[in-house]
Amino acid sequence: MPLHIPEICNWRLSGRARHHGAALRMRLGAMWEQEFAHLEDLTGPYMINPHHWGHVDRWFDPESGVQAIDARLSHAFSLLVEPAGS
């Protein structure tokens, strides 16, 4: 997405594995993190960018027919005092 949405300053994809239950089934999870200079960059150019709503949002939409993301997904954001790479 950073190639399509220049307002994304920094980003990373983090993965983790967790064990659940007596059978020790491994459950994989991922976290896509992004950093923006201003809240308006997230709520404006990012959310309305055609790449975001045309390619990314369909993975989250249960009516799209190609949903690949758990319905319990959280889209959260917070203010950082300084950039993550500092």
pLDDT tens per residue across span 41-69: 988 998 888 887 777 777 777 777 777 66
What is the DSSP code (8-state) at residue 80?
A: -
Question: Per the confidence metrics, is the pTM higher than 0.85?
Answer: no
15: Cβ–Cβ under 8 A, 6 or more apart, which residues? Answer: 28, 29, 30, 31
Q: Quick one: pLDDT band at residue 21, thresholds 50, 70, 90?
A: low
Task: Report CA Rg, the chain.
Answer: 15
CB-CB contact of 1 with 35 (8 Å): no
**Could you tell me where the DSSP H helices lie in the chain?**
39-41, 47-48, 50-51
